[in-house]
Structure 1
Amino acid sequence: MAIIKVVKRSGKTYTSLKKVLSYVGEKATETYGINCNEDYTKVAYEFFETKNYFNKTGGRQYRHYIQSFSPEDEISKEKVLEIAIKWAEESFHGHEVFIAIHDDKEHLHSHFIVNTVNFENGKKLHEKKNELELKKDINDKICHEYGIDNKSYHREIGTVVSYDKDKYYAMKKGGDITKLTVTILDILDKATSIEEFSTLMAEENYEVEWNENRKHVVFKVDNSILEGKKNKFRLENLRKTFNLPIFTKEGLLNIFQENSNKNIKENINISTKPTRTRKNTREKER
């Protein structure tokens, strides 16, 4: 399988652009330039020429992506480069993209340094979340063409996934997002309605924003237990981060209903058992 990662820390200076190009270029076994030079020492100047032409030399200078293949994939460097080129051409129309193939780890991987300014229309690359998901879909499609089936990859439920290194280590240490998820799972064992769920979460210092007219359920961490800077988390983000299919509005509502039915059944059993016991006792006394 092959996955797409985004390196979120990208510089805003010409020097930072040259540094990242040197980093990926010096270690590369293969390089390729889409609308730019394949010599990493010349790419920064070409990127800047485009920015200067459209008078957009400020702000973020580049975007950095990584396409990583599993060590289990039997794939050559040539095929990795082919897949990298196809993915970049479909994902970044009108942009200059420098590609560098690395083999310095257990798995082959490709680095993509993308000019944030489109050389055709001068528009800047401002990627939204749904656009990143689209790029991942393109990656899946191309890999499938090469016999690499990303869709068949099974990730165990509850396994953490994160494309942000800082976020990953925060979760490993047990940060706010992890504690919130554990709390939700504990409360889901007993909550029978949205109201009860919200009340029980409030007792643990979490506010639940659940509105039928809004798509997302949002959790707010009270300042009294907050460890990090971010105090709001969407249920959808928790679902993706921890691979928990039940973390949807419908999934939680189903659990509430199951818990409610279970409680009703237990109450019926409790209410009928004493009656039978008393009746049997009287019969024995007679």
Structure 2
Amino acid sequence: MAVIEFINGENKTYGAMKKVIDYITNPAKTEPHLIDGHNCDINNAYHQFVLTKRNYNKETGRQYIHVTQSFAPYDKVTPEEVKKIAYELLQMEFFKGFEVVYAVHTDKNHLHTHFVVNTVNAETGLKWKQSAEQLQLLKDYSDDLCRKRGLIITYGKKGNHKNRGEYRTKDKGQSWKYELYLAVKKVKWCSKSKEDFISNMEKLGYKVDWSDERKYITFTTPSGKKCRNRKLYPPEKFTKEALLKAFDLNNQRAKDKELKKRIDLILSLVYMIQSNPDYDKTKKYPLSTLEGVALKDEIAELKKGKGLDWDKESAREM
């Protein structure tokens, strides 16, 4: 998987902005076809950034946001594929209207993309605001894009590389929202109706408030934290309509016995994780832990015992 980092530095002058754009597009670090612009012409990006700021009379304060997306050196990914991932990342809603210069750097032993974002939105004139929730959504979506390609996490500026389970535990403190995301994503493919879905979520310790009178579903975690389905990313995968469509597909393609096997497998894996003497029970995020590799052999054996090709089923979720 890739790691998203926001680079702090002097960014309150036009000179600093020009310097960072020149840096990320430096031909000694990248190649022409690995450089691109989002909502801007890469050959005139600096001038477009300035014109946008002047157009909305917002030339003070932070001039740009500098973000990197880094990959492990042993990831089997090409610079061109890394650029495609960067392009997909920029399709997220909160980049809409923002001008971005980005380039894949190939000068290190690990591939990484630099993004420079104009702090003034070219469409609305509003300045960039980044909440902790938005940052988490960005990281989670980056993980989703990488997971589809079977990539590995790279951890931080030091270049250390961790498996996904270690990254979730040590870098994020085991995000409760990510754990909820995993629960909903897996349980929707074990359920054949709204009632079945609610029941299966309850087996994992989650309460589900799904009312026809309300637009959104509210989940309550085992620790009492609340989260609406629109806060899970990508939100279109977790709307009422998307969940009902999944239930309909389950009814068409899977027998009740198979659906029961799926939820039983999840519950068995969770129990196995929580019963492992090396598992830190204070974190209480077993599904996130399952994404690591520490119990790979035990999980494989349990899958065989359940008679279910879980990897094949999981692929349907993407």
TM-score, structure 1 as length reference: 0.53
**Structure 2 counterpart of 1:81, which letter?**
K
Distance in 2 between residues matched to 1:245 and 1:55, nearest whole Å: 52
CA distance in 2, matches of 1:157, 1:62: 29
Q: 1:74 to 1:116 in 2, by over 3 A?
A: same
- Name 2:136's counterpart in structure 1: 133
Which residue pairs with 2:57 in the alignment? 55
Letter in 1 for 2:18: K
**How many Å apart are 1:58 and its aligned residue?**
0.8
Aligned sequence identity (%): 38
Distance 1:13 1:149, change over 3 A: same
Letter in 2 for 1:67: Q
Q: Aligned pair 1:32/2:43, yes or no?
A: no
Match of 1:45 among 26, 29, 47: 47
- RMSD over equivalenced CA pairs, Å: 3.1
**Cα deviation, residue 89, structure 1:** 2.2
Question: Is this contact kept in 2: 1:10–1:62, CA < 8 A?
Answer: no
Q: Deviations over 1:72-96 (max 9, x none)?
A: 2110111000001110221511100
Q: Distance in 1 between matches of 2:80 and 2:119?
A: 27
Q: Cα deviation per residue 1:188-209 (whole Å; 9 max; x = unaligned)?
A: xxxxxxxxxxxxxxxxxxxxxx
Counterpart code for 1:55: N
Show the counterpart of 2:222: none
Distance in 2, Cα, partners of 1:114 & 1:245: 39
Aligned to 2:4: 4
Structure 1 residue runs of 4 or more that deviate by more than 2 Å after TM superposition:
144-152, 156-162, 244-248
Change (3 A) 1:101 1:149: closer
Equivalent position of 1:155 in the other structure:
166
Matched-pair contact (CA < 8 Å) for 1:96–1:115? yes
Say how many residue pairs are matched: 170
Output one character per residue of 1:130-161: Cα deviation in whole Å (capped at 9) or x when no partner: 11001111111222233336696231898578
- Give matches, 1:1-286, under 5 Å: 1-26=1-26, 27-29=29-31, 30-39=34-43, 42-90=44-92, 91-148=94-151, 153-155=164-166
CA 1:112 to 1:157, structure 2 compared with 1: closer, same or farther past 3 Å?
closer
Q: Is the 8 A contact 1:14 1:61 kept in 2?
A: yes
Question: How far does residue 247 in structure 1 lie from its aligned partner after superposition?
Answer: 6.4
- Residues 23 and 149 of structure 1: CA distance in aligned 2, closer, same or farther (over 3 Å): closer
- Bigger-Rg structure (1/2): 1
Specify whether residues 48 and 2 from structure 1 end up closer, same or farther in structure 2 by C-alpha distance, changes over 3 A only. same
The 8 Å contact of residues 10 and 61 in structure 1, kept in 2 or not, is answered as no
Q: Which amino acid aligns with 1:76?
A: T
Maintained 8 Å contact 2:65/2:116: yes
CA contact under 8 A between 2:76 and 2:151: conserved in structure 1? Answer: no
Q: Check conservation: 1:50, 1:117, Cα contact below 8 A.
A: yes
Which letter does structure 2 place at the counterpart of 1:37?
Answer: D
Counterpart in the other structure of 1:191: none
Write the distance in 2 (CA, Å) between the matches of 1:156 and 1:21.
30
Give the aligned residue type for 2:25. Answer: G
Separation in 1, partners of 2:41, 2:74: 32
**8 Å CA contact 2:65, 2:117 repeated in 1:** yes
- Per-residue CA deviation, residues 195-246 of structure 1 (Å, 9 max, x unaligned), is xxxxxxxxxxxxxxxxxxxx9xxxxxxxxxxxxxxxxxxxxxxxxxxxx966
Q: Give, in angstroms, the shift of residue 61 of structure 1.
A: 0.3
Cα distance between partner residues in 2 of 1:51 and 1:247: 48
Q: More deviation in 84-93 or 111-120?
A: 84-93
5+ residue gaps, structure 1, are 163-214, 216-243, 252-286
Larger displacement relative to structure 2 (22-31 or 67-76): 22-31
Structure-2 change in CA distance of 1:9 and 1:115 (3 Å): same
